[in-house]
């Protein structure tokens, strides 16, 4: 930022020399403290922010809170003041980059690197908590990683004293459930954020990815505690159980102090699967116990329930299928697409869902293709379709495959909105392509032929009670999930230890 007007000017006791980074409330510069003749960092709050007394109060509180912490794992504060329209904090200049930038560059860290950073962060928090200070915004952007790989905590801008007035503050992706809903400052909220940061460092992902802050808050409060080893099987049992303990939904289920977590981090089982040796050495007590959780009831139709509704649907609607017409293939393709959309929106994972979605995909494509053939049993066109028909069918098939991939198979960057739009395009492409396949070789104009085909198929469908045929299918699908359910609690375990319910 060579054009920055502040560079080269003197602000308070310092001369500003270089722009370093931009934060949520202002910029950070490298400067030189003129009286001490040493390089420092200056956090300068932008003028529009300074006009509010609350902002100035927060800045002063951050400086005073940080100044109390004379610890090597906390970025030191030297001075705070206001000059003209600018409010500034003079900080220790830490060489390196934020953990946020490091993860953006490398995506995730190996286990020894992540463990070292967590030890440093917990050491800094232990010092802060010992003085009655809760950071309340532990996140990768507030952890500075030095050139030698050690870490320091910075930015106590929203810190609070233990037991101070409650207020919702922090970053929602790393915020403890009770903190998001305005609980009073508690050291265990910082420990929850440490669990999320540790998970993020090892996997490169957030434990609760979300589209908006409200969704993130609800997931931190209600969603099951994720098993980190589902994403990274190399994480040890010890580390996985500790992360789950840190991310417990209630403060009482988490470690009581940062020192307790530090003790667990120093255990050799953090990096090596050596549980038997740990137990023999009497170190098992260092592993925090699993958080208490309440079972979540999963509703699954029993085989008896499904059999009853199959029988009911056959008795009530079976005769209607004797009058099935060609338009039922079109309806079948649409129904398969709706079931695919329902599968995309569900939370189920694994090969059972993938297999079912792939089967629906095949049925959808075959249904639209069969709709495009004139005869009941003719699976091959009598004459080669035109190139335009091939293009339409190809585009529809490509959109369907892309929808299936985005909605089910691509778990790394799953995009529901894109998958649903692609599914809509697939239905349109395959439906119109099938209709054009029927019209291949016809001498009628395309628009008139399409109109006559669709009107004729709709009249045939309505005259043979097609609505009742497909009402039976909907009744069968929905009813078996509503009546005669089997309810059971599903537990999530790590090496036999219950760490949450899924």
Residue 287, classified by CB atoms within 10 Å of its CB into exposed (0-12), middle (13-18) or buried (19+), is buried
State the number of CA atoms in the 13 A half-sphere of 195 facing the CB.
Answer: 32
Query: Phi then psi for 461, rounded to 5 degrees?
Result: -65, -45
For 115-147, write each residue's pLDDT tens digit: 999 999 999 999 989 888 888 889 998 899 988
The pLDDT assigned to 132 comes to 85
User: Please, which pLDDT band fits residue 75 given cuts at 50, 70 and 90?
Assistant: confident
Q: What is the dihedral of CA 255, 259, 260, 266, to 10 degrees?
A: 130
User: Please, which pLDDT band fits residue 242 given cuts at 50, 70 and 90?
Assistant: very high
CB 229 within 8 A of CB 240: yes
Number of domains in the chain: 3
Q: Using the 8-state DSSP alphabet, how is residue 174 labeled?
A: G
d(CA 6, CA 12): 12
Identify whether 243 is part of a domain.
yes
User: Do 47 and 80 sit in the same domain of this protein?
Assistant: yes
Residues 6+ apart with CB under 8 A from 488: 297, 298, 300
Q: Which of 73, 92, 111 is the last residue of a domain?
A: 92
Q: Is the pLDDT of residue 496 over 70?
A: no
User: Do 437 and 340 sit in the same domain of this protein?
Assistant: yes
Q: Which of 239, 265, 286 is the last residue of a domain?
A: 286
CATH number (domain holding residue 26)? 3.30.200.20
User: Do 185 and 332 sit in the same domain of this protein?
Assistant: no
User: Do 128 and 221 sit in the same domain of this protein?
Assistant: yes
Identify whether 166 is part of a domain.
yes
User: Please, which pLDDT band fits residue 281 given cuts at 50, 70 and 90?
Assistant: very low
Q: Is the pLDDT of residue 184 over 90?
A: no
The pLDDT assigned to 451 comes to 82
Q: Is the pLDDT of residue 284 over 70?
A: no
User: Do 128 and 263 sit in the same domain of this protein?
Assistant: yes
The pLDDT assigned to 178 comes to 85
Structure token digits, residue 321: 């299928």
User: Do 260 and 150 sit in the same domain of this protein?
Assistant: yes
Query: Phi then psi for 298, rounded to 5 degrees?
Result: -100, 135
Identify whether 377 is part of a domain.
yes
What mean pLDDT do residues 292-313 have?
62
CA-to-CA dists, residue 376 to 182, 327, 449, 455, 466, angstroms: 65, 11, 20, 19, 17
CB 434 within 8 A of CB 394: no
User: Do 334 and 414 sit in the same domain of this protein?
Assistant: yes
CA-to-CA dists, residue 255 to 160, 196, 245, 288, 451, angstroms: 20, 14, 7, 7, 69
Q: Is the pLDDT of residue 354 over 60?
A: yes
CA-to-CA dists, residue 300 to 71, 310, 500, angstroms: 54, 16, 20
CB 486 within 8 A of CB 348: no
pLDDT cut 90: percent of the chain above it: 16
Highest mean pLDDT among 10-19, 192-201, 385-394, 397-406 belongs to 192-201
The pLDDT assigned to 300 comes to 56
Structure token digits, residue 260: 């307790």
The strand ranges marked E within 7-150 are 10-11, 14-22, 26-33, 38-45, 77-83, 86-92, 96-98, 133-134, 143-146
CB 261 within 8 A of CB 290: no
What mean pLDDT do residues 323-335 have?
82
Residue 227 annotated in active site: no
Buried b (16+ CB within 10 A) or exposed e, 1-31: eeeeebbeeebbbbbbeeebeebebbbbbbb
Query: Phi then psi for 339, rounded to 5 degrees?
Result: -65, -35
The pLDDT assigned to 54 comes to 65
Q: Is the pLDDT of residue 261 over 60?
A: yes
The pLDDT assigned to 441 comes to 66
Identify whether 76 is part of a domain.
yes
User: Do 65 and 119 sit in the same domain of this protein?
Assistant: no
The pLDDT assigned to 390 comes to 81
d(CA 348, CA 338): 17
Query: Phi then psi for 74, rounded to 5 degrees?
Result: -130, 130
Highest mean pLDDT among 79-93, 339-353, 486-500 belongs to 79-93
Identify whether 360 is part of a domain.
yes
Catalytic residue among 37, 79, 120, 137: 137
Identify whether 499 is part of a domain.
no
The pLDDT assigned to 495 comes to 35
Return the number of other C-beta atoms located less than 10 Å from residue 417's C-beta. Answer: 9
Q: Which of 92, 118, 146 is the last residue of a domain?
A: 92
What mean pLDDT do residues 137-159 have?
82
Q: Is the pLDDT of residue 299 over 60?
A: no
Q: Which residue has the tokens 């036999």?
A: 496
For 213-226, write each residue's pLDDT tens digit: 888 888 888 888 98
Helix or strand run (H / E) with residue 301: strand 297-301
d(CA 62, CA 60): 5
What mean pLDDT do residues 450-479 have?
77
What mean pLDDT do residues 367-377 have?
76
The pLDDT assigned to 202 comes to 93
d(CA 176, CA 166): 14
Q: Is the pLDDT of residue 22 over 80?
A: no
What mean pLDDT do residues 419-437 have?
86
CATH number (domain holding residue 249)? 1.10.510.10
What mean pLDDT do residues 141-164 have?
73
Identify whether 124 is part of a domain.
yes
User: Please, which pLDDT band fits residue 350 given cuts at 50, 70 and 90?
Assistant: low
Q: How far is CA 423 from the centre of its chain?
A: 23
d(CA 11, CA 86): 8
Instruction: Report if pTM > 0.85.
Output: no
What mean pLDDT do residues 412-437 have?
81
The pLDDT assigned to 492 comes to 39
User: Do 194 and 159 sit in the same domain of this protein?
Assistant: yes
In the three-class reduction of DSSP (H, G, I as helix; E, B as strand; rest coil), residue 484 is classed as: coil
User: Do 384 and 371 sit in the same domain of this protein?
Assistant: yes
Q: Which of 213-222, 286-295, 387-396 has the lowest mean pLDDT?
A: 286-295
Residue 324, classified by CB atoms within 10 Å of its CB into exposed (0-12), middle (13-18) or buried (19+), is middle
Residue 53: which domain range? 10-92
The pLDDT assigned to 207 comes to 92
Q: Is the pLDDT of residue 103 over 70?
A: yes
User: Do 264 and 368 sit in the same domain of this protein?
Assistant: no
User: Do 332 and 459 sit in the same domain of this protein?
Assistant: yes
Helices (H) and strands (E) in the chain, counts: 18, 15
């Amino acid at each position: 930022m060579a054009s920055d007007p502040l560079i080269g000017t003197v602000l308070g006791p310092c001369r500003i020399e270089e722009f370093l980074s931009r934060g949520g409330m202002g910029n950070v510069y490298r400067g030189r403290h003129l009286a001490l003749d040493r390089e420092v960092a200056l956090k300068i709050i932008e003028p529009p922010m300074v006009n509010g007394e609350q902002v100035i109060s927060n800045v002063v509180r951050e400086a005073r809170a940080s100044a109390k912490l004379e610890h090597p794992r906390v970025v030191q504060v030297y001075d705070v003041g206001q000059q003209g329209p600018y409010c500034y904090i003079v900080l220790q200049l830490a060489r390196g980059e934020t953990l946020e930038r490091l993860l953006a560059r490398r995506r995730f860290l190996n286990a020894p690197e992540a463990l070292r950073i967590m030890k440093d962060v917990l050491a800094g928090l232990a010092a802060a908590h010992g003085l009655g200070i809760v950071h309340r915004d532990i996140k990768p952007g507030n952890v500075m990683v030095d050139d030698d790989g050690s870490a320091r905590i910075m930015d106590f801008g929203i810190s609070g004293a233990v037991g101070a007035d409650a207020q919702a503050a922090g970053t929602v992706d790393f915020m403890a459930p009770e903190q998001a809903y305005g609980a009073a400052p508690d050291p265990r909220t910082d420990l929850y954020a440490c669990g999320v940061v540790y998970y993020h460092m090892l996997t490169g992902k957030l434990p609760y990815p979300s589209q908006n802050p409200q969704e993130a808050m609800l997931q931190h409060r209600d969603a099951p505690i994720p098993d980190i080893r589902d994403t990274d099987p190399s994480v040890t049992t010890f580390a996985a159980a500790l992360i789950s303990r840190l991310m417990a939904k209630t403060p009482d289920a988490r470690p009581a102090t940062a020192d307790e977590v530090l003790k667990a981090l120093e255990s050799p089982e953090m990096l090596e699967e050596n549980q038997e040796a740990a137990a023999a050495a009497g170190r098992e007590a260092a592993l925090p116990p699993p958080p208490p959780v309440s079972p979540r009831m999963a509703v699954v139709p029993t085989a008896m329930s499904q059999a009853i509704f199959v029988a009911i649907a056959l008795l009530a609607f079976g005769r209607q299928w004797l009058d099935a017409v060609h338009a039922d293939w079109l309806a079948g393709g649409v129904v398969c697409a709706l079931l695919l959309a329902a599968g995309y929106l569900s939370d189920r994972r694994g090969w059972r869902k993938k297999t079912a979605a792939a089967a629906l995909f095949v049925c959808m494509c075959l249904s639209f293709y069969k709709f495009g053939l004139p005869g009941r049993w003719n699976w091959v066109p009598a004459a080669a379709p035109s190139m335009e028909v091939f293009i339409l069918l190809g585009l529809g098939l490509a959109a369907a495959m892309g929808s299936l991939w985005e909605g089910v198979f691509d778990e790394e960057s799953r995009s529901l909105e894109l998958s649903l739009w692609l599914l809509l395009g697939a239905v349109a492409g395959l439906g119109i392509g099938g209709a054009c396949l029927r019209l291949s070789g016809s001498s009628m104009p395309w628009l008139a032929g399409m109109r006559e085909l669709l009107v004729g198929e709709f009249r045939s469908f309505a005259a043979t009670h097609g609505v009742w045929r497909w009402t039976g299918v909907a009744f069968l699908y929905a009813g078996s999930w509503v009546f005669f359910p089997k309810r059971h609690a599903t537990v999530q375990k790590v090496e036999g230890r219950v760490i949450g319910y899924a």
